[in-house]
Structure formats: structure tokens, C-alpha cells
């Protein structure tokens, strides 16, 4: 559907073919929706218009842009005419830098099946007084295979895809009120909040490592006696920063942080733990890991909703640590998850298939549970581990996972293209528009 503008301020004109969608009586006045913007206008049907054209009053776009160089979808229901979709990607706090704009071009690879107004915006671009948002919209080329970003001010969207952490303020609160439940990935929970959210589910709880907040050193020492090693993790943090592994040894304790190892007495360990407790909030957790050739291995499971608005696994990636290290961040050693699973556990094809199904069942259940408690979510990265007894453990949930990890797995460009295009595929469906 393409837009034409008219100086007639009161009428919207549609091709005559749409008469069938209105039944026996065409309403004289109809509500028009574009993103969160709505207005009432008189409706006229015309035999002179091509089937893919809508004529709108030019007065509609006095306070914001409605680009007429984009194709749109039209949906008609009991609430009126809906032209869209209008999708905002909240990418930054202050400015949408050239680097951000370049990065997000890849997310529009499938624009030919999306259509509509899709724009990047910073938190500071939200203007509650005018109910407008300053940002950059995607303008595809004539072939629809590439495009550029153009600056403008746009109406509040149908749907917001949140990609940044947000400190609540009047701008974001106004967006929440206006868009309502149409912001997906609305809360980035910290590690402790995730554990609390999931622990009460009897199907998930057995897959959670024993975890507690760091309140006193004696609790850590007790867990070390039970499990032999624990991880000390910042409650808030990502990319493995600040994680310490503590091991119980015959002569005391071994403290592993980044590239350093320290042998500690119990007295020294207690002193260090008290220091950490004063610095920031930490939790300590039962150590769960599998080693292959002295390398830790875990699995990143990329869970995303698609155009059916249901959870699906877009990919599984095996992540290996460097030799002797306690974290898995060696990007040169990423493997396709099924291959990594098979090799690490020495499984045959059937065993690999069954273990993969077990992982996906758990991850789907976790996503559905988080959806119910804190959602809606549609794009999550779950880290799981498998121990030497083949038990599956949920280690962490990444609410802002790095999509480009999928581009680093050998020749898996198809996985990467799915990972970066699926959020907008979902966003279109979430806005109420079907995708081919």
C-alpha cells in the first residue's frame, strides 16, 4: 500500500475493492491509526485509485513524518483503518551514532517482507509534549535489498524493540503509558532477580545451580564443602566481567580471577569475601561445568519469537574457554551447538538429538515463565551447561545478547541472518500485521 496526499483535510480515500471488507454498510466516519497516532476522518471509496493506494489528508502529518516513499500494509477491523507497521528500535540513550545506524542496517535485510515505518531512536529523542520521537527511519532502495537511514520526527510506534538498559524517567514512562504492553524485552533482570523468578517453577528448579546472595563468608565456605567449587558473580553485569571461581583444595582454597590464581587460607578467603561484599552486590553459585581437553564448554541457546509469536530456537552455539580458564569467551573456538554437544559428550546421533530436545524443552519453558512474570520478551540468549552426568543446567539469561556471535560460527551465515531478522519479523506480527 502506497500513500498519496490530498489537501482535503476531512477525507481518506481507498480503492473500491475494499468495499467487501466493510460489508453491507460503509461507515461514513472511520478511525485511522498510524502507530499510536489516531484520528477520525470521513471515508470514501473510489474506482479511480489503483488497488495499492490510499489517499490521506496532508494535515495528518503536521507534527511528524509519515514517509510516502515506503510500502505499508493496511489492516481493517472493528477499530478502523490501521496503516503500518510502525516499529521503533530503542538503541541508545542520547544519540543514534553512525556506528549504530550501520550496525542496524543488517536487521532490515528482510524489509521486503516487513514493510512500514521502522526507525531507530534514542531515549532522549522521545518528546512527551508532542507525542513524537526523533530518530532515523529506514529507506530501502528501489530493489528493496539495501537502504539508508534518514532523520526525522515520527509518531509513537505500534511496537518498541528495546535494546538498551533504561533508568526510568518521564520520557520512558510516557512511552510505556502510550504504547502499553507493546514494548518487548521490557525488563533486563539481574542474575538474582532471574533466579528468584524461576526458582518456584518445579520443572525449572532442578536445573538451577544452588545460588545465594553474598551476605557472609561462612555460607560460601559451606557451599564449597558441598560442591568443591563455586562461582562468585556480580549480581549486575555481563560478558563474564567480575566472575571469580573459588576451589576447595587439600591445602586451603584457590582463587581464580581473570588471568590470576591465588592460594588462600580460610582466614584470607573470608577477608577477601568481606571486601567483595562491601564493594557491590554479589551472588555465589554452585559450580557446574564440563571440560573438554582442559577447556570449559557451555552452550548459548538463542531463543526468539517468530511471526507466529511463539518461542523457537534460532541456533545453539558451543562456547569454549581458553585452556585452563574458568570462563568461555574464546571466540576462535565457537562451534555449531549440535556438533559441540556431540563431541563434548561423545554422543551418537540419536543421543545428540534427544539431549538437544531436552535443552530446547527447558529453554522454552524458561522463556515462557519469564514472559508470564516480567514480559513480553521475544529475544533472549540462554547459557546452559551439561555436567559429567549429562544433566542440563541453566547458568544465565542474557536479555541483551550479542547477535553477532552467530556470525562467528564457521559458515553459519544462515543462522546469523535468522538471528538478526527475527526480532523485526516478530515485531510486525506483534503489531497486528501478518508476514508472508
Residue 275: CATH number of its domain: 3.30.1490
77 and 96 part of one domain: no
Q: How many C-beta atoms lie closer than 10 Å to residue 60's C-beta?
A: 19
Look at residue 436 in the predicted model and tell me its pLDDT.
Answer: 65
Residues 297 and 425 in one domain: yes
Give the domain extent around 245: 210-286
Mean pLDDT value across residues 242-269? 93
User: Among 253, 286, 319, which residue terminates a domain?
Assistant: 286
Residue 191 lies in a domain: no
Percent of the chain topping pLDDT 70: 93
Strand pairing category for 37-46 and 11-15: parallel
Which residue do the cell numbers 530446547 mark? 360
Average of per-residue pLDDT across 82-108: 96
In-domain check, residue 205: no
13 located within any domain: yes
Q: What is the mean pLDDT of residues 197-208?
A: 97
CA 395 vs. chain centroid, Å, equals 18
Q: pLDDT digits over 355-384, tens only?
A: 999 999 999 999 999 999 999 999 999 999
Tell whether 404 and 422 lie within a shared domain.
Answer: yes
**CATH code: domain of residue 409:** 3.30.470.20
In this structure, the answer to whether residues 418 and 406 fall within a common structural domain is yes
Q: Are 156 and 131 in contact (CB under 8 A)?
A: yes
Residues 1, 18: Cα–Cα separation, whole Å: 12
All three cell numbers of 368, joined, read 515462557
Co-location of 221 and 347 in the same domain: no
Backbone angles phi, psi at 90, to 5 degrees: -80, 105
Q: Are residues 294 and 417 in the same domain?
A: yes
Kindly state whether residues 138 and 93 are assigned to the same domain: yes
Distance CA 406, CA 335 (A): 10
One domain, residues 397 and 360: yes
Counting beta carbons within 10 angstroms of the beta carbon of residue 277, is it exposed (0 to 12), middle (13 to 18) or buried (19 or more)? middle
Q: Are residues 298 and 425 in the same domain?
A: yes
Q: Mean pLDDT across the stretch 82-106?
A: 96
Q: How many domains does the chain contain in total? A: 4
pLDDT in tens, 314-329: 999 888 765 555 454 5
CATH number of the domain within which 29 lies = 2.40.40
Identify whether 107 is part of a domain.
yes
Of 34, 64, 84, the residue at which a domain comes to its end is 84
Instruction: Give backbone dihedrals phi and psi of 393, rounded to 5 degrees, phi first.
Output: -125, 140
Pair (60, 175) in one structural domain: no
Looking at 265, 286, 307, the residue that finishes a domain is 286
Statement to judge: residues 338 and 406 lie in one domain: yes
Counting other chains too, the contacts that 193-201 makes at CB distance below 8 Å and 24 or more residues apart are: 194/370, 194/396, 194/397, 195/283, 197/369, 197/370, 197/373, 197/374, 198/366, 198/369, 198/370, 198/394, 201/365, 201/369
Which H/E stretch holds residue 159?
Answer: strand 159-162
- Closest by CA position to 193, among listed 167, 172, 213: 213
| Through-space distance between the first and last CA atoms of the chain, rounded to whole angstroms | 15
Residue 421 lies in a domain: yes
**Range 348-356, long-range pairs (CB < 8 A, 24+ positions):** 355/386, 355/390, 355/392, 356/316
pLDDT digits (tens, 9 = 90+) for 259-285: 889 999 999 999 999 999 999 999 999
- Residues 305 and 407 occupy one common structural domain: yes
| Nearest to 96, CA basis, from 73, 67, 125, 118 | 125
Residue with cell 562467528: 408
Contact (CB, 8 A) for 183 and 175: yes
Position 233 pLDDT exceeds 70 = yes
Amino acid at each position: 500500500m502506497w500513500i498519496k496526499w490530498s489537501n482535503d483535510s476531512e477525507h481518506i480515500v481507498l480503492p473500491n475493492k475494499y468495499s467487501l471488507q466493510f460489508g453491507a454498510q460503509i461507515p461514513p466516519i472511520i478511525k485511522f491509526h498510524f502507530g499510536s497516532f489516531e484520528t477520525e476522518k470521513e471515508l470514501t471509496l473510489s474506482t479511480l485509485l489503483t488497488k495499492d493506494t490510499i489517499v490521506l489528508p496532508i494535515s495528518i502529518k503536521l507534527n511528524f513524518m509519515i514517509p510516502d516513499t515506503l510500502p505499508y500494509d493496511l489492516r481493517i477491523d472493528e477499530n478502523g483503518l490501521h496503516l503500518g507497521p510502525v516499529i521503533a528500535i530503542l538503541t541508545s540513550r542520547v544519540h543514534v551514532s553512525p556506528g549504530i545506524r550501520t550496525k542496524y542496517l543488517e536487521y532490515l535485510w528482510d524489509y521486503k517482507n516487513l514493510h512500514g515505518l521502522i526507525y531507530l531512536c534514542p531515549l532522549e529523542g522521545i518528546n512527551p509534549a508532542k507525542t513524537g520521537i526523533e530518530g532515523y527511519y529506514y529507506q530501502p532502495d528501489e530493489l528493496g535489498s539495501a537502504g539508508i537511514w534518514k532523520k526525522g520526527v515520527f509518531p509513537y510506534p505500534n511496537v518498541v524493540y528495546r535494546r538498551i538498559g533504561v533508568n526510568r524517567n518521564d520520557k520512558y514512562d510516557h512511552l510505556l503509558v502510550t504504547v502499553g504492553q507493546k514494548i518487548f524485552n521490557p525488563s533486563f533482570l539481574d542474575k538474582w532477580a532471574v533466579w528468584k523468578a524461576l526458582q518456584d517453577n518445579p520443572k525449572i528448579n532442578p536445573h538451577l545451580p544452588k545460588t545465594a546472595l553474598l551476605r557472609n563468608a561462612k555460607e560460601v565456605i559451606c557451599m564449597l564443602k558441598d560442591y568443591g567449587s563455586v562461582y562468585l558473580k556480580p549480581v549486575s553485569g555481563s560478558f563474564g566481567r567480575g566472575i571469580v571461581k573459588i576451589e576447595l583444595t587439600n591445602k586451603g582454597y584457590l582463587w581464580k580471577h581473570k588471568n590470576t590464581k591465588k592460594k588462600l587460607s580460610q582466614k584470607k578467603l573470608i577477608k577477601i569475601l568481606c571486601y567483595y561484599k562491601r564493594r557491590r552486590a554479589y551472588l555465589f553459585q554452585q559450580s557446574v561445568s564440563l571440560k573438554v581437553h582442559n577447556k570449559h564448554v557451555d552452550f548459548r541457546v538463542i531463543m526468539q519469537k517468530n511471526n507466529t509469536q511463539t518461542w523457537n530456537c534460532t541456533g545453539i552455539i558451543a562456547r569454549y574457554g581458553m585452556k585452563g580458564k574458568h570462563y568461555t569467551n574464546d571466540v576462535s573456538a565457537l562451534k555449531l551447538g549440535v556438533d559441540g554437544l556431540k563431541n563434548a559428550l561423545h554422543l551418537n546421533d540419536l543421543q545428540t538429538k534427544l539431549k538437544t530436545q531436552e535443552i530446547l524443552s527447558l529453554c522454552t519453558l524458561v522463556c515462557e515463565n519469564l514472559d508470564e512474570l516480567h514480559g513480553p520478551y521475544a529475544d533472549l540468549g540462554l547459557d546452559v551447561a551439561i555436567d559429567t552426568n549429562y544433566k542440563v543446567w541453566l547458568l544465565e539469561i542474557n536479555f541483551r545478547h550479542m547477535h553477532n556471535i552467530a556470525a562467528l560460527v564457521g559458515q553459519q551465515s544462515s543462522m546469523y541472518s535468522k538471528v538478526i531478522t527475527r526480532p523485526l519479523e516478530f515485531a510486525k506480527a506483534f503489531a497486528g500485521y501478518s508476514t508472508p
